[in-house]
Chain A
């Protein structure tokens, strides 16, 4: 077991974690990022566009990757998870286990291994909406630009096809998991979120029809590098989805599910409405809401811009029933149109459930000094002296807020290092 040292250890390589690491490193401190996926960038990599500017997220990520590449104070581990954290501010010991990638650094990402691989499994990057090979790269611009082999998906009876296909001797099927300990001055939890499991919303039909999808799936359908190449179609039959319903607060602000407001879903749905409207001039987007929450001048302006489109209907009333109409293949969303005071049933091609962000920080083993509130977010108060939380580990937040928070947390983290030096 090797021992490594770093000033700031960041758990999670999403936009918050990367920003924290870059900021700390650029202030002259060493930073180490622990990421469980095969690539860095987290949830942001799955977005098609950012709101409100409707620009591509790859842009912001690439800036961070570039900052990392040219700063030797930053190191990172993919496919790695924190086992436990011991010690005190200035002197933490973090036990990490790294799963084998089965691909070494000789990989040029030529893709020959994937071509040779005979196994296909549902692609988690696209939330199961298409398949990928067991030898894969998560997406074309993934960083590190390196394939990986999903050994759990390997059928085994293919022999060593991927290994034989690789001209660079990059496939190493004998790699073993390894454990190591990192000494860190301070720790930043940037573990992020996962989409709330829409199948728990038994009245909203998720899982009963392919045309009832979550907002994160909608993001993939709309993305150029997504399963449909950015074409917004019904998953059931590939028909153009020109009538799309956005069901707000699907499991959010709901004490039976997520009791809090995720703060981004209204803006995300407005943004996704523009995807539909842009792609099909004769399309119609409905957004069914309890309240539209778009705080701040630029977000308010974005709402007004989207609202100005007469083919975007914002209807007050929470959808409480969604189901397939077998006769037409439509999805029917049912709600009370509160302003009209009557129940309505709206037929659409595609129903997007605006599910919220569930924090994942409590899935890791946390030291006792970290407190988690009833919603699963880390409680940050003045007692925090060595372990800090950022982004969606702390609060539901959009990218802009996460990045700002991460910059602040980097300062707190290096103060801890300075205090205990």
Chain B
């Protein structure tokens, strides 16, 4: 067996420990986690191997490793872990490290996810939005009926938000491109059926079928599904709005009567975002004992999405009630958080949509998923006999 030189990256270990994986070092490699996990492939299953790589600081092992993204953090592993090493939380922390690796500039991942800098990361967008409002609308409470375009017209919103979204998506896309190349390299995969893989992945994501495999936190299926579709709905309604206003130069479809279906669709989306966030927070607290409460990285995203949903809904209700004193400030907060959601898209936990999507797609592209299914079929397989001495070398 070829000799290997271990190059531990201690900063990598420290990074994991600091971002929610503080239980990492408790792992004693029993592999209960890999067995109770319902979403792992049979061959080279996770998260046992990831736990030792992370303990030893073998950062390069995570280069192009799709497995940490196949993890849906059901936390079945954490519930059964005999040592309280919380593999679910550790993998979450490792994912943060890989986001940092692929979303450039990587320093933004640290800034966005640094609890001490939290006021700053919202203050900057707030100042920016305030400047645009001061330049184009009314920075204050406009008189008369509550109409949000009095505070900020449609055009400046588009000038501000469209580039923010494009920036977020572009950084994510570039990250995925690098990640994809690394996955191909690390796994020795040169070709595959990309189109079918993408279609199959989309089907899997839309149905959320992987979430159904979770035992410990079945409720996450519902909360994530609701939240996911709230994003889909709100994305579609926003796109329709842009289509009407910018391309067709028609009246906004959000006015009652003229655009009732789009409007109703949007209200459903807003309700879903609020309900989904509440469900998610509730699950976290309910399962706190066995699964842990989650890291700052998790809560930041839940927080941003929650504020977006609540402020949007509240602003809408306050407008209907004609309470300008509430409607305008809340609308301002709403704008700030939507802007934050967009620009921090590839740097917050929301980046999982890029990298998990890519990893799930790669599983199909590389044929590993099909292979795993084939292995799972016959129940019988003899264990491999191996001398411990040899094995130690292998682990090394």
Q: Which residues of A contact B (CB under 8 A)?
A: 203, 249, 253-257, 286, 290, 313, 315-321, 325, 332, 334-347
Contact = CB atoms under 8 A, between A and B. Distances in A.
A342 B44 contact: yes
A338 B48 contact: yes
A346 B42 contact: no
A13 to B, nearest CB: 34
A267 B97 CA distance: 43
Contact of A338 (B29, B83, B380): B29
Contacts, number: 92
Contacts of A334: 35
Contact of A256 (B48, B82, B391): B82
B380 A345 contact: yes
Contacts of A343: 34-35, 40, 42-43, 45
A92 B34 CA distance: 54
Q: Which of B40, B381, B388 has the most CB of A within 10 A?
A: B381
A399 B362 CA distance: 56
Given A336-B35, A339-B391, A345 B49 contact: no
A197 B45 CA distance: 30
A291 B382 CA distance: 20
A286 B30 contact: no
A189 B373 CA distance: 56
Given A255-B82, A320-B35, A332-B379, A342 B30 contact: no
B300 to A, nearest CB: 29
Q: Is the interface of B mostly helix, strand, loop or mixed?
A: loop
Nearest to B28: A290
B32 interface: yes
Nearest 8 CB-CB pairs, A to B? Answer: A254-B82, A320-B35, A340-B384, A336-B31, A318-B30, A336-B34, A339-B391, A315-B383
B80 interface: yes
Contacts of B191: none
B379 A345 contact: yes
A335 B35 contact: yes
B375, B383, B385 interface centre (most CB from chain A within 10 Å): B383
Given A336-B35, A342-B43, A255 B84 contact: yes
Contact of B381 (A203, A338, A346): A346
22 contacts: A253-B28, A255-B82, A290-B29, A290-B30, A313-B383, A315-B383, A317-B30, A318-B30, A318-B31, A318-B35, A335-B35, A336-B34, A336-B45, A336-B48, A337-B384, A338-B48, A339-B391, A339-B394, A343-B40, A343-B42, A344-B382, A346-B381
Interface of B: 28-36, 40, 42-45, 48-49, 80, 82-84, 375, 379-386, 388, 391, 394
A313 B385 contact: yes
Nearest to A292: B388
Q: Which of B32, B44, B84, B391 has the most CB of A within 10 A?
A: B32
Nearest to B49: A341
A234 B333 CA distance: 68
A347 B383 contact: no
Contacts of B30: 249, 290, 317-318
B373 to A, nearest CB: 13
Nearest to B381: A344
A333 to B, nearest CB: 10
Nearest to A325: B379
Contacts of A254: 82-83
A234 to B, nearest CB: 18
B293 to A, nearest CB: 18
A321 B45 contact: no
Given A249-B82, A337-B383, 15 more contacts: A203-B80, A254-B83, A255-B83, A256-B80, A315-B383, A316-B391, A317-B30, A317-B31, A320-B34, A320-B80, A338-B391, A339-B388, A342-B44, A342-B45, A346-B382
Nearest to B387: A339
Given A340-B386, A343-B45, A335 B82 contact: no
Contacts of A339: 384, 386, 388, 391, 394
Contacts of B82: 249, 253-257, 318
Contacts of A203: 36, 80
Contacts of B48: 336, 338
Nearest to A344: B381
B380 A347 contact: yes
B273 to A, nearest CB: 36
